[in-house]
């Protein structure tokens, strides 16, 4: 991998990329909504640079690190990721001229591996059986061994993760719904989306209900999601925020993935389908309201998983 050297112009170009982060559309779910008195909307988060919701925290984490001098000339950006944050880092790091090293589980999808390698990322593959918990341990060990070489972004414990959603995602939702949102639903991975968005929504209107989604069991097929009772809980997670935690069944999410393609013309990732399932389950429980969730990414990077589901 060639060595990239940050220059004043490349850093300037990095700051210009802020115009391509966030401001994603709010999409109405019509045919899969089970209750005519409940509106369901989803943020199409793949419609920003980096192709996923992770563009928001990745940019914010890098921006703060560059401006504070923690990510200075010659240092590598280092983090653990299941893929999407890594891709966002890679896009931004390429523009800024910053070398990037990522620890990722060995079972990340082929498309994610190909994208990261094409962007010149130094990849360290960790045990697929340890999920991102194992990747975090590897990244921390590397940063501890060579502190002068690496800036460890540590997205699971970096407040700039949730602050990105506090300052952008939540603000957009309030504006796009005309302040009419009554419920927010989102899956728990790094927990940044849920924590930051929920915190701002509660400040705006304490009556808004915020529901965190997690896999029903420790063994599941929702890449990047955490089963909080058995996984390492991210340091940025605020366990006082959620009004409820709802379990989501992986196979149920796969069924919704098929239905979303057929009835809503949406080609979703498993995580996006799981968020939609959580919103649908909530809509069945309440009498009326406006539910907002996020679609972290689309099906583009998951052909090995999604194609068999759509064909079944």
pLDDT of 69 strictly over 80? yes
Assess whether pLDDT exceeds 90 at residue 220.
Answer: no
Between CA 225 and CA 296 the distance in angstroms is 12
Name the percent of the chain lying above pLDDT 90. 82
Share of the chain above pLDDT 70, in %: 98
Does residue 7 surpass a pLDDT of 80? no
**Which of 49, 110, 113 is CA-nearest to residue 81?**
113
Q: What is the pLDDT of residues 111-127, one digit of tens each?
A: 989 999 999 999 999 99
Residue 99 has, within 13 A of its CA and on its CB side, a CA count of 16
Q: Is the pLDDT of residue 3 over 60?
A: no
Mean pLDDT of the chain: 93
The CATH 3.40.50.1100 domain(s) of the chain lie at: 8-47+169-311, 55-152
Tokens standing for residue 178: 């005309």
CATH for 8-47+169-311 is 3.40.50.1100
- Tell which CATH architecture fits domain 55-152: 3-Layer(aba) Sandwich (3.40)
DSSP state of 167: I
Q: What is the pLDDT of residues 223-261, one digit of tens each?
A: 888 898 888 899 999 999 999 999 999 999 999 999 999
CB 73 within 8 A of CB 182: no
pLDDT of residue 44: 98
Over residues 158-199, the pLDDT tens digits come to 999 999 999 999 999 999 999 999 999 999 999 999 999 999
Cα 274 from Cα 265, distance rounded (Å): 16
């Amino acid at each position: 991998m060639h060595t990239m050297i940050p220059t004043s112009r490349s850093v300037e170009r990095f700051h210009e990329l802020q115009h391509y982060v966030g401001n994603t559309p709010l999409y109405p779910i019509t045919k899969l909504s089970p209750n005519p008195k409940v509106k369901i909307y989803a943020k199409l988060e793949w419609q920003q640079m980096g192709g996923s919701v992770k563009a928001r925290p990745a940019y914010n984490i890098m921006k703060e690190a560059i401006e504070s001098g923690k990510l200075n000339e010659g240092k590598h950006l280092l983090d653990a990721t299941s893929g999407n944050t890594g891709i966002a880092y890679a896009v931004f790091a390429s523009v800024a001229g910053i070398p990037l090293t990522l620890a990722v589980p060995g079972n990340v999808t082929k498309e994610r591996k190909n994208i990261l390698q094409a962007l010149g990322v130094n990849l360290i593959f960790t045990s697929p059986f340890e999920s991102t918990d194992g990747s975090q341990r590897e990244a921390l060990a590397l940063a501890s061994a060579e502190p002068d070489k690496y800036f460890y972004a540590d997205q699971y414990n970096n407040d700039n993760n949730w602050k990105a959603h506090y300052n952008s995602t939540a603000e957009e939702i309030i504006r796009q719904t005309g302040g009419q949102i009554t419920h927010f639903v989102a899956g728990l991975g790094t927990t940044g989306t849920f924590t930051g968005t929920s915190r701002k929504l509660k400040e705006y209107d304490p009556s808004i209900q915020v529901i965190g989604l997690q896999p029903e069991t420790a063994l599941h097929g929702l890449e990047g999601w955490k089963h909080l009772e058995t996984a390492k809980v991210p340091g940025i997670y605020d366990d006082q925020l959620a009004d409820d935690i709802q379990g989501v069944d992986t196979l149920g999410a796969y069924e919704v993935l098929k239905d979303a393609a057929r009835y809503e013309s949406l080609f979703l990732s498993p995580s996006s389908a799981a968020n939609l399932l959580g919103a649908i389950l909530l809509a069945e429980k309440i009498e009326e309201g406006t539910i907002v969730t996020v679609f972290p990414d689309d099906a583009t990077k998951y052909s090995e998983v999604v194609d068999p589901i759509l064909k079944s």
